[in-house]
Structure 1
């Protein structure tokens, strides 16, 4: 197994087109979701995806992260599948999907 130093990793060119990523709007995401059939909760799934919940509630990532009480980076990681969703997160997604007003009431300090 080849090992790389942090300096070597940082020196490698990124394959991510950040201009394109940052230019993607919620409308683009909604259109893509409709095109690939993920715009609604899929039947048979035990919980909706984070992106599906956010689109369902018509919130930005910043707004849904605040509602859920998590950093926006955490919500983005969930949406982009960079981290697995533990049972508590899956439960939160189900509650946000079915009872968003209950979550809003519960999160009021």
Structure 2
């Protein structure tokens, strides 16, 4: 199969999509009971009653900062991030990236140790 034929065979126009009815059996979906949904999940290897293992919830940055009794500026200095980053996290504009979430998890798990390792927050 050439690239051209693969690309053309996968294309469908918007007109074609809108003209063809969806293949969704809404009556069957609505008739599915919670017990059937649970049985399907178990059959797929997912136990809805299992405890999540190996996960620790990290408090939101605002809560963690308040717990530590720090201002936004001091918290930003402690984490070595710009104060605007802390503001964006707290106001929900952007979530902490994976590295920042890891750092926040470490600070939340053992604040005293984290403060010793990271040092005293520097003045902004």
Matching of residues 42-53 of structure 1 within 5 Å: 46-53=57-64
TM-score normalised by the chain length of structure 1: 0.52
**Aligned residue for 1:56?**
67
What is the CA–CA distance in structure 2 between the aligned matches of 1:84 and 1:78, rounded to whole Å? 5
Q: Which structure 2 residue ranges, 5 or more long, are not aligned?
A: 1-54, 120-124
Q: Report the number of matched residues.
A: 66
Matching of residues 74-93 of structure 1 within 5 Å: 74-93=85-104
Structure of higher CA gyration radius:
2
- Whether the 8 Å contact between 1:56 and 1:97 is mirrored in structure 2 is no
Any idea what SS the aligned residue of 1:67 has? helix
Deviation at 1:105, TM superposition (A): 2.5
TM-score normalised by the chain length of structure 2: 0.47
Deviation at 1:73, TM superposition (A): 0.9
Q: Which structure 1 residue ranges, 5 or more long, are not aligned?
A: 1-43
What is the CA–CA distance in structure 2 between the aligned matches of 1:54 and 1:85, rounded to whole Å? 14
Q: 1:81 to 1:105 in 2, by over 3 A?
A: same
What is the CA–CA distance in structure 2 between the aligned matches of 1:45 and 1:107, rounded to whole Å? 21
